[in-house]
Structure 1
Amino acid sequence: MYKPKDSSLSPRFCGVRTFMRLEQVKTTENVDFVVMGVPFDTAASNRTGQRSAPQHIRNFSVLLKPYNPDVDINIFDHCSGVDYGDVDVIPGNIHRTYDKMVSEIYPILEKGIIPIIMGGDHSISLGNLRAFYKAYGPIALVHFDSHGDTWDNYYGEKYMHGTPFRRAVEEGLIDVEHSIQVGMRGSLYSPADLQDARDLGFEVITMKEIRQIGMNEVLERIHRRVEDKKVFVSYDIDFVDPAFAPGTGTPEVGGPTSFEALEYVRGLKGLDTVGFDLVEVLPSYDPGEITAALASSIIFEMITQVAVKKEAEISAVLERNLPR
């Protein structure tokens, strides 16, 4: 069983930085989840530096503790996890980077382990989805973002951080009838920028609609859309209002608070989530590590969901084995 160092016995400033002070071990034995980084930012269209995000998030995450009071669960009573390190990306070559991602992530999925992946810009999600398709076939997508990332191209380039989900649909990686995008807002070039995602088959809930119907209804719509399908969750930090997450490349005002950002992850309880990425954290625009604090907490909530799922699976097995 792998679990974090106890910071009541070992000061947080001691040792090599890993996520939540987990052991840095590249193993698929005796683990339920792995945290890993994909420090690639060559496909960003505005500010760059997302390659430094995995370590930036790790640096702050040493403050995290194993018990989640909002869910009332001690994570490591129910599951085991490690910091798997980073994929050795190829700066400037997105296609070779995608190949490396698939070769690193697929063996993890083969063992039924849940990878929790820190970007990097949002282009990495296409590499993630290729690995998941290889393991599971087309998969449902829950996408939290202020942008749909379904453009056809940037500057004539097909593989950028604003195009991964169009490419994923074209490649047949996503079960689009069970996929949903949440949080879209901000200025656009034309109505087609938002309509494109719907034309591809996604359900889309804009931020304005979220404020009209409320978070509970949004979460119900997510669950209705996904049903019992295996799901990959992609979380762009710019989903959150820049007042709470300033460290990102393309911020959009009018988004959720940090509390709401965490509640959306908690609200995924009951979905068959098999993977997660958090992308677009930009350390150079993150005063006081505000964004790192939120990003590490979002990942903590996702790890919590792994523990909740594991606890439910064990309880179901025990119940089936009870004498009738």
Structure 2
Amino acid sequence: MGKYKPRDPLKIPRFADIRTFWRLPYMKEIPTNIDFAVVGIPFDTGASYRVGARYGPEAIRSQSLILRSHNPALDISPFDYCSGVDYGDIPVVPGYIEDSYKKIEEGLLPIIDKGVIPIALGGDHSITLAELRAMTKRHGPVALVQFDSHTDTDPDYYGHKYNHGTPFIRAVEEGLLLVEHSIQVGIRGSTYSKDEIEKARKLGFEVVTAEEMYKLGIDEVAKRIQERVGDAKVFVTFDIDFVDPAYAPGTGTPEVGGPSSRETLELVRKGLKGLNFVGFDLVEVYPQYDPSFITALLAAHIIFEFISLIALNKREKQTRKSVKTSQG
């Protein structure tokens, strides 16, 4: 059983005490023998339309208090198998994206170097480039699974290389991705040019648009994710605007015509199950555009699924080891 786990809500009410993610222990020094660390990256200077994702980590943590200890859909209690902490926030530099990238890399490396999986709470989607830079320093190039309504492969923005629409063209250019094992899912909405989606495909990504996703169905899309990634080490990035704004209105660049929260959770469970994770992030939560906090609540539940999937992998590994031992 995990040494570091959430406080028991039957002993201390969920609404009490300091609000870490899922009421995990807050630690700035990464202990040994943990599996994951939740990290806030409250940076939104890369946004091109709305701003306010700097408040995303706070909102997601607050809504995570409702999470309980067992995941019935995956039939696992994560902390029976894994251990994790809330690392707090990385001190970014508001208004300065390249300086913040350096801070993000420096903040993540102590986690990654210990073999711990970081789960980042954004922040706008520009932060993912810095996360991938840190990842590759330990793991080399990684596969990318991107849930998003936008490809985020714009060549520049007003002549500048970095904003939340450019991280994945930069990641390809910098050699951070195993692009032949990478996939973008849920792409939709109006575009700046006729060939925008085709440009992402020419970079090497497999792209499943929202229209294709609905025709294929969840099971087939999940199968495509599994086949594309294979055994490669994978970083999962989830832009909350993947979800229809009827279910996630608190985001920076909302696009209608997306999946429901139920469909989203099902696809995450099926599409990511058993993959070789090295990191996750969830970005583009803007709580000020959603006074009911359903966007942050959904974000917290998606991260709950990420943690459950980490636990499933660990349980499977323990089962294989037990079978091997019993067979002599």
TM-score by length of 1: 0.98
- Counterpart of 1:12 in structure 2 is 14
Task: Give the alignment of 1:97-246 within 5 angstroms.
Answer: 97-246=100-249
Q: Secondary structure at the match of 1:112?
A: coil
Q: Deviations over 1:2-42 (max 9, x none)?
A: 01011111112211110001111122323111111100000
Q: CA deviation at 1:247?
A: 0.2
Q: Distance in 1 between matches of 2:104 and 2:192?
A: 32
Is 1:322 aligned with 2:326? yes
Q: Secondary structure at the match of 1:190?
A: coil
Q: Distance in 2 between matches of 1:260 and 1:275?
A: 23
- Counterpart of 2:294 in structure 1 is 290
Which AA in structure 2 matches 1:108? I
C-alpha RMSD of matched pairs (Å): 0.9
Q: Secondary structure at the match of 1:181?
A: strand
Q: Are 1:28 and 1:113, in contact at CA under 8 Å, matched by a contact in 2? A: no
Q: Distance in 2 between matches of 1:110 and 1:263?
A: 32
Of all paired residues, the percent bearing the same amino acid is: 57
Q: Distance in 1 between matches of 2:23 and 2:110?
A: 24
Q: Distance in 2 between matches of 1:109 and 1:309?
A: 18
- Counterpart of 1:48 in structure 2 is 51
Q: Distance in 1 between matches of 2:98 and 2:31?
A: 26
Q: Distance in 2 between matches of 1:195 and 1:182?
A: 14
Moved over 3 A (4+): none
Give structure 1 stretches of 5+ with no counterpart.
Answer: none
TM-score by length of 2: 0.97
Q: Distance in 2 between matches of 1:87 and 1:131?
A: 13
Q: Deviations over 1:165-204 (max 9, x none)?
A: 0000000000101100000000112222111100100000
Which AA in structure 1 matches 2:210? M
Which AA in structure 2 matches 1:135? R
Tell me the number of residue pairs that the alignment of Structure 1 and Structure 2 aligns. 324
Q: CA deviation at 1:319?
A: 1.7
- Counterpart of 1:252 in structure 2 is 255
Q: CA deviation at 1:314?
A: 1.2
Q: Distance in 2 between matches of 1:256 and 1:187?
A: 17
Q: Distance in 2 between matches of 1:207 and 1:38?
A: 28
Q: Distance in 1 between matches of 2:147 and 2:88?
A: 25
Q: Distance in 2 between matches of 1:28 and 1:282?
A: 31
Q: CA deviation at 1:231?
A: 0.3
Task: Give the alignment of 1:27-46 within 5 angstroms.
Answer: 27-46=30-49
Q: Distance in 2 between matches of 1:13 and 1:221?
A: 40
Q: Distance in 2 between matches of 1:278 and 1:22?
A: 18
